[in-house]
Amino acid sequence: MRETLTNQIRRLRFDNGEMTQQALADKVGVTRQTIIAIEQGNYTPSLTLAMKLARAFNKTVEEVFQLNCS
């Protein structure tokens, strides 16, 4: 069974007044490259960063990240 982690960060950024990647990165204390890597699914963030990202959008972690099993 293959597990993949998807996320809604890109959509949530646009829902939150077209927030830029840099603005989100500054808000959670990482680099823009890290946000790009997470959005593309190339990097799985730590639980701390996942919670910071969810908090930045006023969402729960499950609303931002989804674990898909196939």
Residue ranges binding another protein (CB under 8 A): 29-31, 33-34, 36-37, 40, 42-43, 45-46, 49
H helix runs in 1-70, sequence order:
9-15, 21-28, 32-39, 47-56, 61-64
Written as one letter, the residue type at 21 is: Q
What the block records as the tokens of 28 is: 């959670």
Nearer to another protein, 31 or 66 (CB): 31
Closest approach, Cβ 48 to another protein, in A, equals 8
- Cα–Cα dist 61/23, whole Å: 19
Closest approach, Cβ 21 to another protein, in A, equals 10
Task: Answer whether 45's CB lies under 8 Å from 53's CB.
Answer: yes
Nearer to another protein, 46 or 68 (CB): 46
Closest approach, Cβ 1 to another protein, in A, equals 25
